[in-house]
Amino acid sequence: MKPFALYCKSYSTDLRRVVRLARSVREHNAEKLPFYVSVPGNELPLFREHLSDLGVELLADEDILAASHAGMAQRVARMPGYLAQQVVKSEFWRLGLSSAYLCLDSDAYFIRTIRTSDYIGHDGAPYTMFDEAHDLLEDALQHRRQRVIDAFVREADLVQGLFARAGRRYSFGPFPLVWHRDVWQSLDERYLQPRGMTLADAIEQAPIESRWYGEALLAYQAVALRPCQALFKVYHYAWQFDRDQRKGITQQQLAQLYCGVILQSAWERNMDWPREGGNWLSRTGRRLRRLLGRI
């Protein structure tokens, strides 16, 4: 078992984004860390065609789920995509490929050398995103995005309440996140199994996989807590990216603080494969909202 790996769960819609990510890994992966990408089994031929020369190890989502619980693949196949992908990402540890893994989304890419020491401490404990999200929430206040604040409070209270933890609301994101198999195993053995639950049940109850991991880490302390800030510069909204562009902030500057960048796929729809979704009217409306900074 490797001590650390890179992992991305994807779909065909995000093919171009995964190619961009894989190219950035090839450019910056000085330590030759394994990079796994999992997709639905019927999409493997498509991804093999486009990633064959980029050093990616492809996996079928169904193989990850088969290592979890009997019938899990069939159960997840019936779930909406946004829930199903959370289960797959969170169950990757069961394959036994690495002790810890950087769980990447397709819309991420690296901007500097990938060093294990950026993600794993000298004692083998991962660095965990752990703060109160004041930067994001203050930004939302300034731009009168109250819904962002409301969502943060609602999600934090939901999962925190399930663990009966009183106290401050923490953020365990944004992605990408470093996850350790021992934390997921402690959640399974000490929370889910005693309640007759699987991770699919947990995600359906509270669809925020990063919070399940974070609260389990606090509750069961399977690994040491090594707090860190965001590993990647995450542009949650197009107006954040536009603001930095106007300020002339470059990727070379960002690389002093961050390992990579995330451009949310919701407003980068021109990267969809095989083409941007929606009819002419919806595409035009989306581009207009993008130009007006409303995405």
CATH number of residue 167's parent domain: 3.90.550
Instruction: Evaluate if residue 211 carries a pLDDT over 90.
Output: yes
Amino acid at 3: P
How many domains does the chain fold into? 1
Whether residue 87 contacts residue 203, with contact meaning beta carbons closer than 8 Å, is answered with yes
Average pLDDT value for residue range 268-286: 66
Whether residue 61 contacts residue 38, with contact meaning beta carbons closer than 8 Å, is answered with yes
Amino acid at 41: G
3 bridge partner residues: none
Secondary-structure breakdown of the chain: helix, strand, coil percentages, each rounded to the nearest 5 = 50, 15, 35
For the stretch 78-96, pLDDT in tens is 999 999 999 999 999 999 9
Whether residue 88 contacts residue 61, with contact meaning beta carbons closer than 8 Å, is answered with yes
Assigned token pair, 73: 């693949």
Average pLDDT value for residue range 186-215: 97
Whether residue 26 contacts residue 19, with contact meaning beta carbons closer than 8 Å, is answered with no
For the stretch 11-22, pLDDT in tens is 999 999 999 999
**The predicted structure's pLDDT at residue 239:** 77
Instruction: Evaluate if residue 288 carries a pLDDT over 70.
Output: no
Instruction: Check residues 242 and 229 and name the one with the higher pLDDT.
Output: 229
Instruction: Evaluate if residue 279 carries a pLDDT over 60.
Output: no
For the stretch 115-173, pLDDT in tens is 999 999 999 999 999 999 888 899 889 878 899 899 999 999 999 999 999 999 999 98
Assigned token pair, 48: 């093999």
CA nearest neighbour of 13 among 73, 101, 82? 82
Instruction: Check residues 37 and 280 and name the one with the higher pLDDT.
Output: 37
State the burial class of residue 35 (Cβ atoms within 10 Å of its Cβ: 0-12, 13-18, 19+).
buried
**The predicted structure's pLDDT at residue 140:** 85
For residue 221, give every residue at least 6 positions away whose Cβ sits within 8 Å of its Cβ, in sequence order, or none: none
Helix axis angle, 44-51 to 15-28, nearest 10°: 40
DSSP classification of residue 189:
I
Amino acid at 192: L
Which strand (E) or helix (H) includes residue 109? strand 108-110
* Alpha-carbon gap, residue 242 to 293, rounded angstroms: 8
* Alpha-carbon gap, residue 156 to 171, rounded angstroms: 8
Instruction: Evaluate if residue 278 carries a pLDDT over 80.
Output: no
- Give the pLDDT band of residue 98 (cuts 50, 70, 90): very high
> Where in the sequence is the domain holding 234, given as residue range(s)?
2-291
- CA dihedral in degrees (29, 31, 32, 38; nearest 10)? -70
* Alpha-carbon gap, residue 182 to 186, rounded angstroms: 6
